[in-house]
Structures are given as structure tokens and as C-alpha cells.
Structure 1
Amino acid sequence: MTTTESTLKTADLYDIHEESLQICYPGFRHYGGQHAFSGPIATLKCFEDNSLVREQLDQAGQGRILVVDAGGSLRCAMLGDILAQMAVDNGWAGIIMNGCIRDAAEIGEMPLGVMALATNPRKSVKKGVGEVGGEVYFAGVSFTPGEWLYADEDGIVVLDHQAT
């Protein structure tokens, strides 16, 4: 990634890298205090159980973005203010949640990019079930660890820097 790319908007990235860019289908809303964010992807797949979300966010983020495939469930929240603060404290750049969050007002005050489908006050179960790493697919995009994700007011895009 060049310095110029790190400051570009998703629309500009599309204009430059149309052939090597994946674009998420619309539907994700901004909830974090940081509306423009980017970084390398880390992935997690879990359904209505956020135990592994906590486990991942408790590790050093190193500017990464945690992409969570929560199956698009709207029945419970997979991220709340405590886990979001953990992400901030551990250096994560953002979280993309294919599911719900809660504590939206508090998360909106944090210097963290958070995009999700909706909010729900119900918390998830905690059974430790899920898969860490590996490719996850939702919203028309294959999210692969190490590829770069960019998000802003126009949406979410993934750029394979090895292809550019």
C-alpha cells in the first residue's frame, strides 16, 4: 500500500483498482467513532456466540480489521462496548460485523471503525464455538486474512495487494 492509497476514499480506490477490488453489497452501517478506516484483514466465523470475538480482540490488533461472519444473524449482538474498548486498547483499526452490535452510543464515541448490519440489545451465548482465520464470504466479498480492507462513508472494499 502506498501513502496515497492509505488516504484515498473507497470511490477513488475503485477508480484506480477496479479490476482487483471487491465491493461489499450495501447494508452495513457505521457505528464506531471512526468512519474511515483501513488495514489488513483478520477473520472469524461464529454464529450467535461471541466468545471468539472476545478472544481475538484481546490480542494485539496491530492495525488490523477483524471481519466477523456472524451469519447475518439479527437475533443477538456479537459486539458491545466492553469488547469494542478492548479492540481500541489492543490496537485494532476496526471491526466488520456480519451481524449485530449493542451499546451503539458508547461505541460511537470510540476511535474505532465499526460497521455492522444493525443493533440488538440481546447478548450472545458464550460456548466458545467458531472458526478463527481462513476465508469468510458474505455481502458478495471473499475476505481473506492479510488482504486489505478499506471502509468509509461510501462502503467497504477489499483490495488484494498481491494482485496490484
Structure 2
Amino acid sequence: MSFLTTDLYDAHEGRVAVLEPMLKSYGGKPRFSGQIVTLKLYEDNTLVREMLAEPGAGKVLVVDGGGSKRCALLGDQIAELAVKNQWEGVVIYGCIRDSVAIGALPLGVRALDTNPKKSVKRNEGTRNLVLNFAGVDFTPGHWLYADEDGVLLSAVALL
């Protein structure tokens, strides 16, 4: 699949949402897209591992980590699990760790920053909520398109 967010924006202006440019690209796949699956949690990545252990072909996991930069919600082992289960990408409103290893994987990853500290494991969080960060709503089942220029959201598939 080949696309440019700039072209998608121009073709669908007024029908797509654009994330504020706050997330950095870390994965080895800078261009990715898929249907949104959501998690809301805080400094606990138990559900991230559980979700990415499920089949993810054609999907992007969006994690609202509350914007915390105090620990990482994704590391190389969980990212490898995502690749194994064919997820297109992971977008985290929080941090990752093992950024060099994640950069070598065929996975789209966007996050606020990196932090070597791992998260706690309390098995807390909620799945499939509408999330709001970076100035947009992330609705489960909607579509996300990311490339080197940014991230777009759409209620319908654009490709």
C-alpha cells in the first residue's frame, strides 16, 4: 500500500482529522495505516501486551497512556509480538523503550518520547473507548493513516 498523507488530506479535506505534530516516529515502518483499536491506561502496559498478542492484520493499536513520560508502555519484546501477529502499527500517547530495536522492526510506531523505565503490571485499563489526544478523537473502527508528514484519521477507509 502506497499513500501520502498530504495527498489524502488534499483529496478528503474537511472529512479527515489531523493530529497535532506531537508524536515521534520510532518504528521501522514510517508509513502505515489501519483500523483503530483503542486502549486507555496509565503507566501499566499489561493490556498492551494482551492486545498485541491477538491477531492484528489491518489494525493499528492506539494507546492513551495519559501523556505520561515516567515509564515506557512499549518495548522491543511487545513490539516483536505485534509484528508476529501482523499489526500495522502502534500509536502511544506516552513513551516507548528499546527504540533502536523497535526501529529495526517492520512496524509503525509513534510515541511522545523514550524512557528506559518499564511500566508497572496491575492489569488496569479499558479497551475500545473513544480516546482524545493530539487534538483529535480516536474512535474504534475508524481509520488511521501515518507517514513522514503526519497522521490523519478518517471515519471511512480512504484506500
Alignment partner, residue 24 of structure 1: 19
SS of residue paired to 1:7: coil
In the alignment, the residues of structure 2 paired with residue 101 and residue 8 of structure 1 have an alpha-carbon distance, to the nearest angstrom, of: 26
Q: Deviations over 1:101-147 (max 9, x none)?
A: 00000000000000000000000000000001121110011001111
2:97 equivalent to 1:102: yes
- Structure 2 unaligned regions, length at least 5: none
**1:122 aligned residue:** 117
Instruction: Tell me which of 45, 69, 79 is aligned to 2:74.
Output: 79
- TM-score norm. by structure 1 comes to 0.94
- Measured after TM superposition, the shift of residue 162 of structure 1 is 7.6
Q: Distance in 1 between matches of 2:104 and 2:112?
A: 19
Match of 2:50 among 55, 58, 63: 55
Distance 1:8 1:150 in 2: 9
Count, aligned residues: 158
Counterpart position of 2:30: 35
Q: Equivalents in 1 of 2:3, 2:47: separation in Å?
A: 32
**Aligned Cα root-mean-square deviation (Å):** 1.2
Matched position secondary structure for 1:78:
strand
Q: After TM superposition, give the deviation of residue 19 of structure 1 in Å.
A: 1.0
Distance 1:73 1:10 in 2: 27
**Which of 129, 153, 156 lines up with 1:158 in the alignment?**
153
Spell out, residue by residue over 1:44-103, the C-alpha distance to the aligned partner (whole angstroms, 9 max, x if none): 000000000011001001220000000010000000000000000001000000000000
Secondary structure of the residue that 1:40 maps to in structure 2? strand
Paired position in structure 2 for 1:3: none
TM-score by length of 2: 0.97
Could you tell which deviates more after superposition, 7-16 or 35-44?
7-16
Equivalent in 7, 29, 34 of residue 2 of structure 2: 7
Deviation at 1:7, TM superposition (A): 2.5
Contiguous gaps of at least 5 residues in structure 1: 1-5
Q: Secondary structure in 1 aligned to 2:13?
A: helix
Moved over 4 A (4+): none
| CA–CA separation in structure 1 for the residues paired with 2:113 and 2:27 | 13
SS of residue matched to 1:150: strand
Cα distance in 2, alignment partners of residues 73 and 112 from structure 1: 22
**Alignment CA distance shift 1:147-1:12 (3 Å):** same
